[in-house]
């Protein structure tokens, strides 16, 4: 594939930018690559022009408004850290809670509704029964990077949309409210249910299992073990 000159706007978290930009810069040196971490930064980048510009979201929590998507001349793309049957927030959490034995990653066109646009690529892998959230999110991030490297030439050809495939979204689209509910342990939580939720939620600086007693809420704090944030293993 001959990569044409153009511009890619990479919407991602600052700590991921170098890792994600590396294959794009290596395989598509003729393309102007800009990085945005926030919605204001994205809007500022678009003010510079939208001709031959493609938006790619990878590991970002920013929900791009429909008005911005409508201004672009072609599809914007999002790397979703889960397979099509786990749309919405924290797909690995709900897959672990469900006891899923297969997981994966998805590349799709961005639409006004989160995780609803046409799908252009899916990669799946097995989930070992011993994996916790750290292990699954680590494998997921590696799969996302592998997909990015494989599809960089197509993504960098900003004038040609990626080919849609015969895959559709399914399952419940989970929200932050669903995740918060999973973190709250009911009064009648059994040891089995605690183990199931602990495997799914894990321990982290921004998430923890909790329960309420005597009018107080108690949280399970990290004991200095590896935790997960934004799909990558980090330490507290």
- CB–CB of 183/210 below 8 Å? yes
Check whether residue 120 and residue 181 sit in a common domain: no
Check whether residue 210 and residue 137 sit in a common domain: no
Check whether residue 180 and residue 149 sit in a common domain: no
Question: Within a domain: residue 40?
Answer: yes
Position 4 scores a pLDDT of 53
The CATH number assigned to the domain holding 77 equals 3.40.50.170
Check whether residue 127 and residue 188 sit in a common domain: no
CA-to-CA dists, residue 58 to 70, 86, 96, angstroms:
19, 17, 22
The CA dihedral of 90, 226, 147, 42, to the nearest 10 degrees, is: 60
Residue 164 to residue 56: CA distance in whole angstroms: 16
User: Could you tell me which residues are beta bridge partners of residue 219?
Assistant: 210
Residue by residue, pLDDT tens for the chain (236 residues) are 444 568 899 999 888 888 888 888 888 888 888 999 999 999 998 888 778 889 999 988 889 999 999 888 899 999 999 999 999 999 999 999 999 999 999 999 999 898 999 999 999 999 999 999 889 999 999 999 999 999 999 998 888 999 999 999 999 999 999 999 999 999 898 999 999 999 998 876 667 788 777 877 777 776 555 545 544 445 44
144 C-beta neighbours (distance < 10 Å), count: 22
- Domain residue limits at 185: 176-230
Number of domains within the chain: 2
Position 81 scores a pLDDT of 95
Per the listing, tokens 């690995």 go with 92
Residue 78 to residue 109: CA distance in whole angstroms: 6
Final residue of a structural domain among 156, 190, 212: 156
Check whether residue 114 and residue 217 sit in a common domain: no
């Amino acid at each position: 594939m001959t990569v044409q000159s153009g511009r890619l706007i990479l919407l991602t978290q600052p700590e991921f930018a170098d890792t994600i930009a590396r294959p794009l810069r290596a395989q598509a040196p003729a393309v102007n690559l800009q990085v945005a971490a926030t919605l204001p930064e994205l809007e500022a980048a678009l003010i510079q022009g939208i001709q031959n510009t493609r938006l790619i979201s990878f590991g970002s929590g920013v929900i791009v408004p429909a008005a911005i998507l409508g201004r672009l001349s072609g599809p914007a793309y999002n790397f979703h850290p889960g397979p099509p049957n786990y749309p919405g927030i924290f797909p690995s959490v709900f897959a672990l809670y469900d006891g899923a034995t297969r997981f994966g990653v998805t590349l799709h066109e961005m639409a006004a509704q989160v995780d609803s646009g046409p799908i252009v690529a899916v990669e799946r892998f097995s989930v070992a029964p011993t994996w916790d959230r750290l292990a699954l999110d680590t494998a997921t991030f590696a799969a996302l990077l592998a997909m990015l490297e494989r599809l960089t030439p197509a993504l960098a050809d900003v004038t040609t949309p990626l080919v849609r495939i015969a895959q559709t979204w399914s399952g419940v689209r989970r929200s932050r409210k669903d995740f918060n509910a999973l973190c709250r342990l009911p009064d009648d939580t059994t040891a089995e249910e605690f183990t199931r939720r602990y495997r799914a939620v894990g321990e982290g600086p921004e998430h923890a299992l909790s329960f309420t007693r005597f009018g107080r809420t108690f949280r399970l704090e990290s004991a200095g073990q590896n935790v997960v944030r934004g799909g990558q293993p980090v330490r507290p």
